[in-house]
Structures are given as structure tokens and as C-alpha cells.
Chains A and B, each alone.
Chain A
Amino acid sequence: AQSVTQPDIHITVSEGASLELRCNYSYGATPYLFWYVQSPGQGLQLLLKYFSGDTLVQGIKGFEAEFKRSQSSFNLRKPSVHWSDAAEYFCAVGISGGYNKLIFGAGTRLAVHP
């Protein structure tokens, strides 16, 4: 069965530090992969997506993610975190066919210390 694992429930970093959020997926075919961010009390906003091609994808707000097929991973990175990045982050895999449903991970809550 398809699944997405985000091993870290909570992460705390200092402002200006680098960030990496982990995401592992289980899916038999070529995945479509997404990272979404949810600020408190808000809906989800798309940060970036991977469909094919270059395995390093750039997104909004200075985020990037790298698709590693051999590790079934799609980790999210940012070189220097800002206080406004405090939010919850969700990784998702798109299931091709079946109306392209998304399977979400449980989320990682990021706290940023000044």
C-alpha cells in the first residue's frame, strides 16, 4: 500500500540555521511528490512539486527538495531559516490514475528560536 512517512514530528531550529525535513514514501510506480506548508489556522500552501526531470527542485520561500529514487526520499531543505517559517510541513505522494489522489504524511511541526 502507498504511504508517506515523516519521521520527525517536531523540529526546533534557531533562526538563520539550516533546515532539512525528511520524507520517505512507499509507492511502486514513479511518484509525483509534493511539499505543502500550513501556517497556524490556515489551509495548505504548495511549496514545491516533483513530477519528472531534474531531481533537485526549487520552490517558493527559498525552499528546495531533492528526489532520491534509491532511497525513496524527498527531503525538504532551506539554507537559512526565518522566524516566519514556523509552521507545519506536509509531504505528499500523488497516486497516478485513480484521479491522482494524494497520500499525506503525518506532518512535521517546525519551531524557530530567535
Chain B
Amino acid sequence: DVKVTQSSRYLVKRTGEKVFLECVQDMDHENMFWYRQDPGLGLRLIYFSYDVKMKEKGDIPEGYSVSREKKERFSLILESASTNQTSMYLCASRPGGGPYEQYFGPGTRLTVT
């Protein structure tokens, strides 16, 4: 089974802190994604990566950056957390090429106070 893990299920940070959310997949997938999920808005794509060190902005990249130094790991970085970044963050991965489905991690619920 594909397994996507996220470093924390719940996280509480203060405004202005630098926050790292980590995601690891064990299936050698080329593509990895970070979404945020808010009630009534569904999932919105923040960033995705199609290979090591390669990244593309999604629909809402402002206030976020990402890092992919190894194929299995994709990190989301909030350089200076703000209260409007309080949300559920979901990581996903999929094989490269073709219309494959995405496999999701359990999510990290981030609260910024």
C-alpha cells in the first residue's frame, strides 16, 4: 500500500514564526503536492513538485515556499506564519505521467495564534 505520512497531526504556532510541515511518501512517486483545506472551499493547491528540486506554484502560493531535496520528502514552509494560514494542510503524491490518482496523507491541522 502507498503510504504518505505527515510529520504532525496538530500544530500550534505563533504569528511570525517560521513553520515547517514535512511530508514523506514511500512509493517512489515523482509528483508531490501540498494543499490547504478550508470549509466550503474544498482543497486548494499551494505548490507541487514534479521531480527532486523542481517545483511549480499552484493556485494559492502566496506566503508559502517548498523544498524537495529528496524524492520521498516534500516540505512546506511558512516563512512568517499569519493567522489567516490557520487551516488543514494535506500532502499528496502520485506517479509521474498518466492520469493516476493522488494518494493523500492524514493532514496537519495548523493553528496560528
Interface residues of A (CB under 8 A from B): 4, 9, 32, 34, 36, 41-46, 49, 51, 90, 94, 96, 99-102, 104-107
* Contact call A9/B42, Cβ cutoff below 8 A: no
Quick one: CB contact mask for B71-105 with A, threshold 8 Å, 1 for yes? Answer: 00000000000000000001010101011111111
A49 to B103, CA, bound (A): 13
* Contact call B42/A99, Cβ cutoff below 8 A: no
Cβ of A32: which chain B residues have Cβ within 8 Å of it? 99
* Contact call B107/A105, Cβ cutoff below 8 A: no
* Contact call B99/A106, Cβ cutoff below 8 A: no
Interface residues of B (CB under 8 A from A): 4, 9, 31, 33, 40-45, 48, 50, 56, 58, 90, 92, 94, 96, 98-107
Q: If the complex has contacts A42-B107, A43-B105, are A51 and B42 also in contact, measured as CB distance less than 8 A?
A: no
When C-beta atoms are compared, the residue in chain A nearest to B96 turns out to be A99
* Contacts A/B (CB < 8 Å), 25 sampled: A41-B9, A41-B106, A41-B107, A43-B106, A44-B43, A44-B90, A44-B92, A44-B104, A46-B101, A49-B101, A51-B99, A90-B42, A90-B43, A96-B99, A99-B50, A99-B56, A100-B31, A100-B94, A100-B99, A101-B33, A101-B48, A104-B42, A104-B43, A106-B41, A107-B42
* Contact call B99/A94, Cβ cutoff below 8 A: yes
* Contact call A105/B4, Cβ cutoff below 8 A: no
When C-beta atoms are compared, the residue in chain B nearest to A99 turns out to be B50
A42 to B107, CA, bound (A): 7
A104 to B60, CA, bound (A): 14
Cβ of A36: which chain B residues have Cβ within 8 Å of it? 104
CB distance from A76 to the nearest CB of B (A): 15
Cβ of B99: which chain A residues have Cβ within 8 Å of it? 32, 51, 94, 96, 100
